[in-house]
Amino acid sequence: MSDHSFELKGSLFPLSVLYCQDLSAAAVKTQLQQKLAQAPAFFYRAPVVINVESATQAPDFEAIAEVFKELELVLVGVCGASSELKKAAQAAGLAALQLSKSKTPAKEVKEPETKAEAVVAAVMETKVVEQNIRSGQQIYAKGADLVIRGTVGAGAEVIADGNIHIYGTLRGKAIAGAAGDNQKRVFCHKLEAELISIAGSYWLSDSLQGEYWGKSACIGLQDDKLVLADLL
């Protein structure tokens, strides 16, 4: 059985951090007094940490601690301290806290790795379907281009985050750039589509009638407008 009467556990608490260029006791006192005058109740007995990153030499921590006591604030410790300043702070009975933003060497090594991953993810996969897509069937190429070696029947849907290539007739719906990329396009050998959508904008067959109906075509977006062009 574990003993719950005594435990030492890590927890996170919000602490106010004081940033001050001049860390002499007199300067800290003047500036704190000004700040407290704006909202005396808000900072009453508030725990405060002093950021000493900009300090070139050790401030008089004991004098500063006196100022805090006087103004009814609780000085908990310092952060961003060099090893020399840490010693001085500890000597004055203050805790030396680590800044969460401080860059440790381990993190610097990690950064190039994440960049490499991002490059890999940007390369589109291709999903190839070697059959006709029948009415009622739905094909989705997630994060990929889609190639259909067949016909997409009326009532069928082909969807891709990338481009869609259809080597047969497109009679159903084709939805390219489903993830929102408006640079994606639909290519088909014979255009008789019910609907074509690129990055959320869509057109029904009525808007596709014309020069390219029943012929090969490449359909893309330009300034939010549907642009049909020759396949070659």
Partner 1 sequence: MAKIIVVTSGKGGVGKTTSSAAIGTGIAMRGFKTVIIDFDIGLRNLDLIMGCERRVVYDFVNVINGEANLKQAMIKDKRIDTLFILPASQTRDKDALSKEGVERILNELAQEFDYIICDSPAGIESGAMMALYFADEAVVVTNPEVSSVRDSDRILGMLSSKSRRAEQGLPGIKEHLLLTRYNPERVVKGEMLSVEDVGEILAIKLLGVIPESQAVLNASNSGQPVILDQDSDAGQAYLDTVARLLGEEVPFRFLNVEKKGLLKRIFGG
What stretches of the chain adopt beta strand conformation (E)?
16-19, 47-51, 74-79, 95-97, 125-129, 138-141, 144-148, 157-160, 164-170, 173-176, 186-191, 195-198, 201-204, 217-222, 225-229
Nearer Cβ to partner 1 (145/194): 194
To partner 1, the closest distance from the beta carbon of 130 in angstroms equals 11
| Residue of 29, 129, 155, 215 that binds partner 1 (CB under 8 A) | 155
List, as own/partner pairs, every contact residues 14-22 make where C-beta atoms lie below 8 angstroms and the sequence separation is at least 24, other chains included.
Answer: 15/47, 15/48, 15/49, 15/76, 16/43, 16/46, 16/47, 16/48, 16/49, 17/48, 17/49, 17/50, 17/51, 17/79, 18/48, 18/49, 18/50, 18/51, 19/51, 20/50, 20/51, 21/54
Nearer Cβ to partner 1 (150/215): 150
| Residue of 90, 132, 182, 216 that binds partner 1 (CB under 8 A) | 132
Nearer Cβ to partner 1 (93/214): 214
| Residue of 133, 141, 146, 148 that binds partner 1 (CB under 8 A) | 133
Nearer Cβ to partner 1 (50/133): 133
Q: Is 154 in the site for partner 1 (CB under 8 A)?
A: yes
- Retrieve residue 73's tokens: 């604030």
To partner 1, the closest distance from the beta carbon of 214 in angstroms equals 12
State the number of binding residues for partner 1 (CB under 8 A): 15
Q: Is 131 in the site for partner 1 (CB under 8 A)?
A: yes
Only segment of 6-14, 64-72, 129-137, 218-226 that touches partner 1 (CB under 8 A): 129-137
